Amino acid sequence: MASLTILSTTKPSSLLSSTLSSTSPQEFKFPAKSQRPFSSTVKFRAKPFKACAFPSNNNDNGEKDDCFSTRRSLLVCISTLPFLFGLHEFLEDLSAKALQSDTNTYMLIKEEVRKVVSKGKAAGVLRLVFHDAGTFEMDGNSGGMNGSIVYELERPENAGLKKSLKILDKAKGEVDAIQQVSWADMIAVAGAEAVSVCGGPTIPVQLGRLDSLEPDAEGKLPRESLDAPGLKQNFKRKGLSTQELVALSGAHTLGSKGFGSPFVFDNSYYKILLEKPWKSSGGMSSMIGLPSDHALVEDDECLRWIKKYADNQNMFFDDFKNAYIKLVNSGARWKSL
């Protein structure tokens, strides 16, 4: 997102065309996302069983007794129980295996990401997440976390992201050699690990996203020049609240825009926003942040959350984690069992 584009200072480099062509979503055989444990919905509706020593053809009222049919229905139900219980166990086993496969792949992705994403590279990787997922629009359910960023690297707002994608390409190659994974999943997990590497919260990421085969529409990321009302409206179209806007903006604590250490994920962003150093006449202080950052602290609703996060880092971590999960699930197309 443009309001989140301050995370990386790298310059554009050539895109690995061989990487993109070799990781077509059509080739992915990534295991489906985990399902809830199967529970049987079969219901037996046999008539109440009538006690009878030996049924006669007619009852006292001259009506045909249905004791035979009732007993026959019950016998049929009983005879099918072993099959039904077997199916239940089979589906539960299938679901458990899919869940275990997801878990193994998730741990493999995390392991390979940790090998290539250092604290110095974390800001660019996290920015990659925002620019892939940030195209989501609720109206039309378009864009979102779908790996389309691999087709959008030449856009001005994505300058510098080729290097971040190249970093992840190495890790993805190692994972694909064992279990193919989508770019959408790879980027989502990598962003969470980038936060963790720098001391931020641990963020669980569900797997199973499908990759897009084409770029998302242009002009969906919020511009750096937007004021607070414009930012809030843009995020609202993405299904994100003002609180989530402010929480996600805290990612700007990473990078080289002056919000604390560029390699530490903490709540320094909010503390420095409250100081408004850009209004100072002293040298580099005027270079801290972007217009969109400065706008947040001038808005009463945003300011309320900025103060909360400046005072309580644990609250910021919790809210950032939840907002991040929501962001990387936005617009995602999922594989099914």
- The answer on pLDDT for 35 being more than 50 is no
Whether 252 contacts 293, CB under 8 Å: yes
Instruction: Provide the phi-psi class of 147: left if phi over 0, else alpha when psi is between -120 and 50, else beta.
Output: left
Give me the sign of the Cα torsion angle 49, 55, 56, 61: negative
Model's pTM, two decimal places? Answer: 0.73
Please give the positions annotated as active site: 131
Q: Which two tokens stand for residue 124?
A: 């660019």
| pLDDT for residue 17 | 37
Residues in the chain: 337
What would you measure as the largest C-alpha separation in the chain, in angstroms? 107
SS3 category, 118? coil
Element (H, E) at 237: helix 228-237
Lowest average pLDDT, out of 46-50, 158-162, 322-326, goes to 46-50
Q: Which residues of 192-204 are buried (b: 16+ CB within 10 A; e: fewer)?
A: bbbbbbbebbebe
Mean per-residue pLDDT over the chain, rounded? 80
Whether 195 contacts 266, CB under 8 Å: no
Query: 187 pLDDT band (50/70/90 cuts)?
Result: very high
